[in-house]
């Protein structure tokens, strides 16, 4: 798909983004299992909606309310970590992942965060490309960090520059 087509699709996607609440968690966990070979257990999400140091948002389709995706980030001092980002397989390529990532970056800026880190599988071409378009750069590698299948993680960092605040 060319970038023009992607941009058009992105403009047409009409999801609603909002903070996650506890009622979202069963669907979030189900989508997590669809998206990853090594999914977070449901318990990993349980306390996140109530944690003020966490940004946890869901994207839902306005027509039927179905869950399109979610993003999780947490903050320590002036650093953020993008911990999870996923879009339902049938709804990828419509700009939803980028919208969730942008929402997280906007939140990070509002909190005075200066750097955002994340880990990504080396083979995850689509995610790496998405992060590249949002200014993330490779700063390290964790060998055999992932299981199922075993794979290195690349550590990416995005510096949030003062002029963007």
Dihedral sign of CA atoms 37, 128, 45, 11 in order:
negative
Any contact of residue 93 with ligand COA (CB under 6 A)?
yes
Piece of the chain touching ligand COA by CB under 6 A; list 21-29, 49-57, 89-97, 143-151: 89-97
Any contact of residue 57 with ligand COA (CB under 6 A)?
no
Any contact of residue 80 with ligand COA (CB under 6 A)?
no
Piece of the chain touching ligand COA by CB under 6 A; list 21-29, 39-47, 72-80, 120-128: 120-128
Out of 35, 44, 54, 109, point to the residue binding ligand COA (CB under 6 A): 35
Any contact of residue 124 with ligand COA (CB under 6 A)?
yes
CB 88 within 8 A of CB 70: no
Q: How far is CA 86 from CA 137, 149, 163, in A?
A: 20, 18, 29
Piece of the chain touching ligand COA by CB under 6 A; list 37-45, 46-54, 119-127, 144-152: 119-127
Any contact of residue 135 with ligand COA (CB under 6 A)?
no
Q: What is the dihedral of CA 158, 38, 68, 137, to 10 degrees?
A: 10
Six-digit token string for 90: 């049938």
CB 69 within 8 A of CB 103: no
Give me the sheet containing 115-121, strands edge to edge: 16-19, 54-60, 67-76, 79-87, 115-121, 151-159, 137-146
Site string for ligand COA, 8-27 (x = CB under 6 A): --x-----------------
Piece of the chain touching ligand COA by CB under 6 A; list 5-13, 46-54, 106-114, 137-145: 5-13
Six-digit token string for 105: 């970056």
Q: By CB under 6 A, name the binding residues for ligand COA.
A: 3, 6-7, 10, 35, 85-87, 92-98, 120, 124-127, 129-130, 133
């Amino acid at each position: 798909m060319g970038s023009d087509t992607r941009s058009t699709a992105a403009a047409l996607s009409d999801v609603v983004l909002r903070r996650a609440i506890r009622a979202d968690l069963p669907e979030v966990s189900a989508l997590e299992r669809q998206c990853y070979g090594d999914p977070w257990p449901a318990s990993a999400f349980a306390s996140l909606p109530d944690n003020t140091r966490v940004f946890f948002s869901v994207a839902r389709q306005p027509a039927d309310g179905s869950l399109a995706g979610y993003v999780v980030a947490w903050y320590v001092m002036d650093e953020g970590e993008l911990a999870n980002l996923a879009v339902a397989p049938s709804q990828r390529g419509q700009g939803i992942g980028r919208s969730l990532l942008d929402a997280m970056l906007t939140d990070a800026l509002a909190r005075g965060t200066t750097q955002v880190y994340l880990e990504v599988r080396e083979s995850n071409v689509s995610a790496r490309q998405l992060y590249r378009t949002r200014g993330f750069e490779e700063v390290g590698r964790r060998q055999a960090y992932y299981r199922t299948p075993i794979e290195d993680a690349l550590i990416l960092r995005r510096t949030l520059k003062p002029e963007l605040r």
